[in-house]
Amino acid sequence: MAKVKKIMGLQIEIPCEKGQVTTDVNGDAILIFSTPFEAKPVVQLTPEYDPGADRVIVQIASWVMDGADYTGCVIKPSDDGGKDEGGVVVHYCVM
């Protein structure tokens, strides 16, 4: 869903999407954006955390490109020791 903002009298549409994804057994999840971005988008990632488990750190491992457009990203969670974590639910917001 795109947000519409008025800046100095101009109406600007800002693509924005949000949701959640669960990583596979290898700890990978691929997000494909509904709209390609000409510049690198801002991606906010928030893992669900089980207080009885190790801490989880979520990062973008790589970008999915179509020519010069950003069309998605690969998310990779790991524990605080650097070990890949599978089955992690990650909430995301892309702008």
Whether this prediction's pTM lies above 0.75 is answered by yes
Tens-place pLDDT, residues 31-64? 999 889 999 999 999 998 777 777 889 999 999 9
Give me the DSSP letters along 24-93: -TTS-EEEEEEEEESSPPPEEEEE---TTS--EEEEEEEEEEETTEEEEEEEEEEETTS-B--S-EEEEE
- Residue 5 pLDDT > 60, yes or no? no
Please, what are the domains in the chain?
17-94 (2.60.40)
